[in-house]
Chains A and B, each alone.
Chain A
């Protein structure tokens, strides 16, 4: 079998992508900051300066407009969220466009206006950028890269490495909506109710949560590979076991229905405006309460806990009173969802 070329599965947030990153990227670029493999790099430019968080992300979603958002909004929210889940206050963004020859200028304008609105809402400034145009058929309409810088307040210390046994795991709301919205729009699958993406900037919610910064050990936005990939990455990074209660994972009825019809597992589908927080058990209730007071955390719920057994593995307690492993995604469920 031909295993010598990149396939879509190398970009799905699952096992193949992890392997590619470890074998090619980390092995060549590796350094103590990159090796942490967090959503953003947290670094200090000099000893007396505060810490900053720095991240980058590229957006190739198709279709470029979808219910609940578009590629522009996603490019802002995605990078803002990668900074926010490190506990950083997002401040400055760069934007790079790769545009296919022939794209209508009105469409580009619509995307840029959407980005302006999203940046304003997230209170970040776009401070530098780049525009490239490639020949027809050499990219699909438009690809966007954004990079971002944020400041990490003193006392904030979150990383996917910091989960500890007994930590309580909170999801900020219903999951899998972005993935199912993109799929329905792309394939022209019509359901009775509109399936809308959850795409949103999470920094306002995080700033509320950071009142309890000392009790928050890990935050992660479950994008590619969904809840399953995010939890597996954290279990591996922190060398802990994780137990999730299937019944407590928040899911909208229409998303659940669409997944049933299409044979997709919602635990593997991405969200673009949700976060997972691993918090100290004694503060779980108060953090949950705080989250629920915020618009983006209304549907927050405790979904599971960190345990000392089955290290590096995630288990799902099922309805029938049994439990099973919740593994990393292997193959591509949905390419180009962000």
Chain B
């Protein structure tokens, strides 16, 4: 299949692995790389890349799974919305099992409340059009990749005067999270594998602070095995030379300035606000809220929530998301916390670091 098979070529993979090993030998010290995107986490595990890297090269996973970083409070809000009369809640698949304080959307659906899976916000808008007597609330999560589609959906809803459609807005932004991460003294990262999809929208410029202020190199990477292997090779070569550039490896999709149209749509609909990340706490200017002209679509404007008091657990997802520990260093991992009964956010999504270690960890992950 075009654009897929050529990026999974076993012969080229072998060549790249050899190159990585050669450079790693010349670096001659421990190097820690961080991949920031949940899709990279899964791609790396699915192709088993961690296990073939040289001993001195480690890849850790950062806070780039939108499902994992959605705050417990936001799930509690969605669960509360479900229980309103004449209400349908729509959500992307992975959000269904994210644990709230008392319920996940899966368990509340099992009690008969109307929760529906959608593949895009436009599906949710369709549901609203077909159910004019009901209120349809879309649990709107995701990074800069997803947000433009939500913005476009709201623009359409406004144009077509669909007034039974709302969103519960929990969008998050990647660069501010990286900034927060790099300001922590515990972090020791020599290079970043940056998210290809997010960068398709925002371009390479918002990451400049990584190289300019922190002197760390980064590669905006694609998601196929060869993309990732090439990105690792490029990072290691930069580390060896002591250079700290932002390189676009995923050049078939990402331009330096990103997607101007999408950025425009985002600006029209959203403004930037502080927001709460599960496991990381509140990060300044790291989220989206609706601008006043779109405020009517914000469900929080129309109802008051009574939320349950949150429980404390020994979950160390915050440390996992910052790359301070690996999942199996957490006492709950594989014992109290499994994909079937997740406690922490990283076990919830199939893109979560802990879930990926659980599923694909295999021989080296044990």
**Interface of A with B (CB < 8 Å)?**
1-3, 5-9, 15-16, 19, 187, 189, 247, 253, 256-257, 260, 262, 315, 318-325, 327, 330-333
Contacts and interface: CB of A to CB of B under 8 A. Distances in A.
B5 to A, nearest CB: 9
Judged by DSSP, the binding face of B is helix
Q: Give the interface size class of chain B.
A: 35 or more
B119 A187 contact: yes
Interface in B314-366: 339-341, 350, 358-363
Nearest to A264: B93
Nearest to B101: A1
Interface string B92-103: 010011011011
B237 interface: no
B349 to A, nearest CB: 10
B155 interface: no
B231 interface: no
A328 to B, nearest CB: 9
B339 A1 contact: no
Nearest to A310: B363
Given A319-B225, A320-B48, A5 B110 contact: yes
Nearest to B9: A319
Which of A5, A9, A330 has the most B CB atoms < 10 Å from its CB? A330
B273 interface: no
B229 interface: yes
Interface stretch (B10-18, B145-153, B170-178, B188-196): B10-18
Nearest to B50: A322
Interface of B: 1, 4, 8-10, 13-14, 17, 45-49, 51-52, 93, 96-97, 99-100, 102-104, 106-111, 119, 123, 225, 229, 339-341, 350, 358-363
B139 to A, nearest CB: 17
A257 B1 contact: yes
Contact of A1 (B13, B102, B358, B359): B102
A311 to B, nearest CB: 14
Nearest to A247: B10
18 contacts: A1-B107, A2-B111, A8-B109, A9-B97, A247-B10, A256-B4, A257-B1, A318-B46, A319-B9, A320-B10, A320-B13, A320-B48, A320-B229, A321-B14, A324-B46, A327-B359, A332-B96, A333-B93
Given A2-B102, A324-B362, A331-B97, 4 more contacts: A7-B109, A315-B362, A322-B51, A330-B340
Contacts of B10: 247, 319-321
B46 to A, nearest CB: 7
Nearest to A14: B340
B4 A260 contact: yes
A9 B362 CA distance: 24
B225 A2 contact: no
B361 A325 contact: yes
Contacts of B48: 318, 320, 322-324
Nearest to A9: B106
Contacts of A9: 97, 106
B240 to A, nearest CB: 22
A320 B361 contact: no
Nearest to A189: B119
A320 B102 contact: no
Given A189-B119, A256-B4, A321 B52 contact: yes
A325 B97 contact: no
Given A321-B17, A331-B96, A253 B340 contact: no
Nearest to A322: B48
Contacts of A331: 96-97, 106, 339, 350
